[in-house]
Structure 1
Amino acid sequence: MPLLTPEHVLSPDIAFTQNTTITNGTHILYTSTDPEKYLENATSFISSGLSLGQAVVFIDEPHIFNTITEQLIHKGFDQEKVASILFSDRHEFYTSNDIFDIDTVISSFSPLLTPFLQEGIPIRTWGKVKWCANQACFMDLIKKYEMNVDDFVNEMNTFSVCAYDGEELPASLQMELMKHHQYIMSDNEFVSSSFYENERLSPSIMHDTKQYETIENLHTQYSKLIDQLPDPVFISSNGTIAYVNEAATTLMECDFHDLVHLSLIDIIQEKFPEKNPLDHSGSPIEVKLTTSKGNTVEVEMYSFPFLNEERTVEATITIARDMKDKKGSQKLDMISQLAASNAHEIRNPLTAIKGFIELAKEGSLDLDIYSIIGREVERIELIAGELLVLGKPEQMTMDTIEINEILKHVCGLMKFQAETEQVNIQEDFQHNLFVRCNKEQLQQVFINLLKNAIESIEDEGNIKVHSYKDHNQVKIDVTDNGKGIPDHILKHVAEPFYTTKEKGSGIGLMVCYNLIEKHEGTINVQSNPGQGTTFTITLPLVSETKCTSSGQH
C-alpha cells in the first residue's frame, strides 16, 4: 500500500533550504517530541530565511529564541542580521488573559507582515502554538484557527510552520490538522500531506541529484510519522488492517503480525448490522476492544481517509484513545477542583468560629455567640453532607414517604435563614403524595434548592414551595422572585464546580441532579432574568395500594 511517494520525502533541513520554492504559500504542521531536534530545525528554518534575504517571524518562548540566536551567531550571522528577526513571546501572542483568541492572533500577524509585503520581500513565519488545555472547546478552536491560518498563508504567500508539542497534541487532533496543512513534519521527516483538503496546489519541493541521493537511503515509510504518535493507530486498506504502530500492539497485548490482515471490526466487541461507524467522518465513537489475551479495553475511536495523489481514498487511518486514561484524568481534575473549592468553603466558617471564640475568651464580646457558631457549624455540615452524597456507594435505603413530610421539615429548617434575609417561604401542598425515596437525600436536595432561592433574592421577596400530582408523578415546584438566571448560565447549572457565587462551591446543584436521578426522577429549571426562577422536581408516584402494603416510615 503506497502511503506516499519517495520524491515527496525530505529531512527538515533540506526542506528549509534555498531549494524550497515559495510559489503560492506553504503551510507546515510540525509535531515535535525531541527538544534538541526542535532547536536544530528552528535554527535551520531561520538561518535559511536570513541567507535568502527573507523576512523571518519567530514566535516561541524567550529562552528558546536566545538559544537560537546564539547558534546563529556561531554559524557566522552578524548582529544586524540576527536583529532583523521579528520575535514575539508565544504566551503574549496567542493568548489574552490566558484565553486563546483566534481573531486577535490572526489580526496580530497583519501589522507584522504588511511592510514586507509592500516591498515584495518573501516572508517565512514560525509559531509554537500556545496550548490552553483548560480553555473550553479548545480543540475546536485549534481546528478553526488552523483553517484560518491556511487561508491566511494562501493570501499572504508566506512560508509558515505551525509547531506543536507532541506530548500535548492528541493524535486524533493531529490527524484533523493534517487536513489544513500541505506538509507534515516531525523532528526527522518532512512529507506532503495526503489529507490536505484544499484544492490549491502545494508549492514544489525541489532538490538536486546529490541531495536526492542523500535522502533516498532514509526511511521513507509514512509509518515513521505514525510511530511517533502516543495513541494507538490502525491503518486499514479495503477493510483489512495493513499497519499498526507500537502503541496499538501495546493496547491489544499482541505483536504486530497478530493484527495485520485482520479486520478492525473483528476486534470490536459490538456488532454493527447496518452502517460501519468507522467511516471517514472523523467523528469519535466509543467502543470496546477485545485484546489477544481476552481483556476488554474501552476506547474512543476516530477514523480519517488517506488520499492518494488523485485525491481518492487510498486507506483509512483509525486512532484509538484509551478511555481509562481520559476518565482517570477527568476524575483527578474533578478531585482537585473539589478539594480546592471545599477547602475554601469550610475554612470561612471555621475562621469565623475561631474569631468569636477568641473574642469571647477576652471578654470583649457582648452578644450570643452560640447561635452564630451554631449557624456556622450548620454551614459546615451542609458542605460535608454534599461531599458524603458524592462519595456514598450506589446502594441506599428506600422507604415509602409522604413528600410533604420532607418539604415541611426542610421549610422549617430554612425559615430562620429566610427571615434573616427578609424572604417569606410559602407552602402549597397537595396531600397524599407518596414516593419511594431516601429521606435524608431528598432533604439535601430541597435544602440546596431553598438555599439557592434565598440567595437569589437581593432584597425582600417570596419563595413558593408547591407539591402536586401530575398523572402518575409527583411534582414539586420551588419558585422564587429573585434576580433569575441568564440563558448562558442556565445551561451550565448542573455542571460540577460551575458557580457564579463568590462563596459558592459549585457542587450543590450537581448533588441535586445526581440524587434525583438515583430516585428515577428529573429536574427541570425555567428562569426569566429579573423575574425569578422555578426548579421543578418530578418523582414517580407510589400508588395507595403500595403505600398500604409498604407502610409509612
Structure 2
Amino acid sequence: MAFENPYPQYLEQKIDTKMIFSLLDELPQFVCLLAPDFSIPYYNRVFKQIFGDPGQKKCYDVVRGYNHPCPNCPLLNDLTDKEPFSWELTTKSGRIYSVNGRFFTDETNTRYILKTGIDITDKKKIEYDITRIDRMNLIAEMAAGIAHEIRNPLTTVKGFLQMLGWKSDLQQYQDYYQLMINELERANCIITEFLSLTKNQTEDLELQNLNTIIQTLSPLIHADALQSEITIVEELGEITDISLNEKEVRQLILNLVRNGIEAMEAGKDLKVKTYMDSDEVVLAIIDQGKGIEPEVLAKLGVPFFTTKEAGTGLGLMICKNIIKRHNAKMDIVTSSKGTTFYIRFPV
C-alpha cells in the first residue's frame, strides 16, 4: 500500500536563506558569523541587542573593545578539525555567556566560524550562592563543634592574667598583661560571632518600633563616632511597629554604623534614617566615605573577606544572616560620594 502524504505543500516548500535568517532572529541566544578578516557578515537580533550594530567593525572591537585580535581567537590557530569548541565570555555589562563555535567552509573554500552564545549569568550566580551556602554551613559546623571548648581555656587564661596584673611586684608588666587580655577578648568576640552563625532562625520576635531601638543605642553610637570625630545625624521618620528581635537588630545597627564610621575621614557626617516605603520599614545607614570598589562590593559578606587590618570578615556576614532571619532585604548603593545600606523590613 502506497503512503499518501497528507501535507504535500510542506515537503515541497523550498527553505531559502531569508527564512533561515528569520528563524535565527527568533532564537533566544545570540548567533553571529565570523569571517577570516574578523568582520561579522551576519548577526541575529539578540547579538545586536547585546553588542549593538557592528557595521564595519571587527569582532574583537565589537565584543571586547580591543584594537587587535583576541590572543586566544580560534581564527589565529591553524585548526583543521571540525570539532566544536566553547568558552565563556563576560561582556562589558557584566553578563556571562557560554559561547560555542564551529568551523565550516563555504563553496569558495573560505573558512568561517559560526558562534552562538547563551546567557548563563543567573546560573553562575546560583552556583556562587550554593558555594557560599556550603561555606557558611561548614563554618556553622565548626562553630558549633569547637567554640564552647575554646572559650573555657580562654576564660581560665584571662582570669590568671588579671590576677597576675593585680600583684604589686608585677606592676611593671601590667601593659603586657593588658595587651594579652585584650587579645583574648578579641578571640572571644570572634567565637561569639561564630556562634551567631549557627542560628538558622530568629527566636523571641516581638512587635516593637525600630526607632525605639535606635534611640536606645544612640548614646553608644554617638560615643563611637566621637572617637573618630564623626557626627551622627538621626532622621527617624514615623514608622509602624514590626516583629523584631531587639538583640539581633541592635547588633545589626552597630555593625553597619561602625563600618560606616571606619569608611570615613574625620569631620564627615553619618546619617541613620528610618522611613516607610509602601509596606516596608526602611533603615538607611548613609556614610560620606569614598565608596566601595566593584570588586570589593561583589565579595561583601563572603566569610573571612575583609579590607580592615584587624577585621575578621564575619561582621557583614552576620548582618546578612540577621536580615535573612527577619525576612528582610538589603540593598547597597555606592559611589565616590559615599555608600548607603538600605535594610527593608516587611510589615
Q: TM-score, normalised by structure 2?
A: 0.53
Aligned residue for 2:78? 154
User: 1:483 maps to what in 2?
Assistant: 290
Q: 1:389 to 1:520 in 2, by over 3 A?
A: same
Q: CA deviation at 1:148?
A: 2.4
* Identical aligned residues as a percent: 26
Give the distance between the partners of 2:293 and 2:131, measured in 1 at CA. 33
* Partner amino acid, structure 1, of 2:84: K
In structure 1, C-alpha distance between the alignment counterparts of 2:134 and 2:227, rounded to whole Å = 39
Partner of 1:533: 339
| 1:378/1:200 CA distance change after superposition, 3 Å | farther
Change (3 A) 1:479 1:196: closer
**Cα–Cα, structure 1 residues 356 and 405, in superposed 2: closer, same or farther, change >3 Å?**
farther
Q: How does 1:75-474 map to 2 (within 5 A)?
A: 148=72, 150-154=74-78, 179-180=84-85, 197-199=102-104, 331=134, 335=138, 362-364=170-172, 379-380=186-187, 382-394=189-201, 396-431=203-238, 433-474=240-281
Q: Tell me how far 1:465 sits from its aligned partner.
A: 1.0
Distance 2:121 2:228 in 1: 49
Counterpart of 1:22 in structure 2 is none
Q: Distance between the aligned counterparts of 2:200 and 2:139, measured in 1?
A: 20
Evaluate the alpha carbon distance shift between residue 484 and residue 339 of structure 1 in structure 2; reply closer, same or farther with a 3 A threshold: farther
Distance in 1 between the 2:160 and 2:73 partners?
58
- 1:444 & 1:450 partners in 2: Cα distance? 10
Q: Cα distance 1:534–1:378, how it changes in 2: closer, same or farther (>3 A)? A: farther
Superposed, which structure 2 residues align to 1:57-72 within 5 Å? none
CA displacement, residues 410-464 of structure 1 (integer Å, 9 cap, x when unaligned):
3333443322222232322235531111112211211210121121123343222
Change (3 A) 1:179 1:505: farther
Unaligned runs of 5+ in 2: 1-70, 87-99, 107-116
Evaluate the alpha carbon distance shift between residue 525 and residue 285 of structure 1 in structure 2; reply closer, same or farther with a 3 A threshold. closer
The answer to whether the 8 Å contact 2:275/2:282 transfers is yes
Read off the aligned partner of 1:398 and give its amino acid letter: L
- TM superposition shift of 1:281: 6.7
Q: 1:380 to 1:420 in 2, by over 3 A?
A: farther
Counterpart CA distance in 2 for 1:424 and 1:374 is 31
2:284 and 2:342 in contact (8 A); partners too: yes
Q: Could you tell me which amino acid in structure 1 is paired with residue 264 of structure 2?
A: I
SS in 2 for 1:515: helix
CA root-mean-square deviation: 4.9
Give the aligned residue type for 1:441.
E
1:375 & 1:475 partners in 2: Cα distance?
36
Counterpart amino acid of residue 331 in structure 1? D
Pick from 493, 512, 520: which aligns with 2:327? 520
Deviation of 1:284 after TM superposition, in Å, equals: 11
Kindly provide the amino acid, as one letter, of the partner of residue 340 in structure 2: T
SS in 1 for 2:194: helix
* Distance in 1, Cα, partners of 2:287 & 2:219: 17
- Counterpart of 1:198, as a letter, is F
- Local SS of the residue matching 1:503: coil
Partner Cα separation in structure 1 for residue 132 and residue 289 of structure 2: 38
When normalised by structure 1's length, the TM-score is 0.35
Residue 404 of structure 1 contacts residue 433 of structure 1 at CA under 8 Å; is this kept in 2?
no
Deviation of the 1:154 alpha carbon: 1.0
Q: Quote the Cα distance in structure 1 between the aligned partners of 2:160 and 2:309.
A: 21
User: Aligned partners of 1:337 and 1:520: how far apart in 2?
Assistant: 20
Which amino acid counterpart does residue 493 of structure 1 have in structure 2?
Answer: L
Q: How far apart in 1 are the matches of 2:161 and 2:262?
A: 24
SS of structure 2 residue aligned to 1:148:
coil
Which residue identity does 2:104 align to in structure 1? Answer: E
Q: Secondary structure at the match of 1:445?
A: helix
* 1:465/1:479 contact within 8 Å kept: yes
**437 and 366 in structure 1: CA distance in 2 versus 1, 3 angstrom threshold:** same
Q: Following the alignment from structure 1 to structure 2, what is the Cα–Cα distance between the partners of residues 328 and 483?
A: 30
Partner residue, 2:307: 500
Q: For 1:461 and 1:411, how far apart are their aligned partners in 2?
A: 18
Paired AA for residue 454 in structure 1: I
Classify 1:512/1:427 alpha carbon distance in 2 versus 1 (closer, same or farther; 3 Å): same
Alpha-carbon deviation of 1:337? 11
**Amino acid corresponding to residue 335 of structure 1 in structure 2:** L
Structure 2 CA distance for partners of 1:395 and 1:455, relative to 1, 3 Å: closer
The answer to whether the 8 Å contact 1:476/1:538 transfers is yes
Which one-letter code corresponds to 1:528 in the other structure? Answer: S
Render the CA deviation track for 1:164-200: whole Å, top value 9, x for unaligned. xxxxxxxxxxxxxx7329xxxxxxxxxxxxx982226
- 1:493 to partner: Cα distance: 2.2
* SS of match in other structure, 1:154: coil
State which structure, 1 or 2, has the greater radius of gyration over its C-alpha atoms. 1
Aligned length: 240
Name the residue aligned to 1:213: none
Distance 1:375 1:472, change over 3 A: farther
Deviations 1:196-226 (A, max 9, x none): 822269xxxxxxxxxxxxxxxxxxxxxxxxx
Structure-2 change in CA distance of 1:380 and 1:400 (3 Å): farther
